[in-house]
Amino acid sequence: MPAWELKDKVAIVGIGETEYTRWGKATKSELALTLEAIVKAVNDAGIDMSEVDGFCSYASERQEPITLANALGIKQLRWNTLHWGGGGGGSAGGVMDAMLAVATGVANYVVAYRSLAQGQFYRFGMAKGPSVASGNSAFSNCFGLLTPAMTFALQARRHMHEYGTTSLQMGAVAVASYKHAQNNPRAVMRGRPITLSDHQASRMIADPFHLYDCCQENDGACAVVLTTAARAKHLKQKPVYIMSASQGSGYREGVSGHNKLQYTTANFGAVAKDLYARAGITPKDVDVAQIYENFTGMVIMSIEDHGFCKRGEGGPFVEGGRIEIGGELPINTSGGNLAEAYIHGFELVIEGVRQMRGTSVNQVKDAEICLVAGGPGVAPCSDLLIRR
Ramachandran quadrant class, 329 (left: phi over 0; alpha: psi -120 to 50; beta: rest) = beta
Q: Are strands 209-210 and 204-206 parallel, antiparallel or unpaired?
A: antiparallel
Predicted confidence (pLDDT) at residue 309 exceeds the cutoff of 90: yes
Residues 31-75 pLDDT 10s: 999 999 999 999 999 999 999 999 999 998 999 999 999 999 999
Burial of 294 (0-12, 13-18, 19+ CB in 10 A): buried
Q: Angle of helix 296-305 relative to helix 167-181, nearest 10 degrees?
A: 100
This prediction has a pTM of 0.94
Does the annotation count 342 as an active-site position? yes
| Residue of 241 and 119 predicted with greater confidence | 241
- Domains, in order of start, for the chain: 3-122+216-387 (3.40.47.10)
Catalytic residue among 20, 58, 163, 342: 342
- DSSP letters along 262-320, please? -TT--S-HHHHHHHHHHHT--GGG--EEEE--SBHHHHHHHHHHTTSS-TT-HHHHTST
Q: What is the 8-class DSSP label of residue 203?
A: P
Predicted confidence (pLDDT) at residue 277 exceeds the cutoff of 90: yes
pLDDT, position 25: 86
Radius of gyration of the chain (CA): 19
For the residues 322-340, what does the mean pLDDT come to? Answer: 98
Predicted confidence (pLDDT) at residue 126 exceeds the cutoff of 70: no
| Residue of 107 and 144 predicted with greater confidence | 107
Catalytic residue among 113, 163, 178, 292: 292
Residues 168-212 pLDDT 10s: 999 999 999 999 999 999 999 999 999 999 999 999 999 999 999
CB atoms within 10 A of CB 19: 16
Predicted confidence (pLDDT) at residue 255 exceeds the cutoff of 50: no
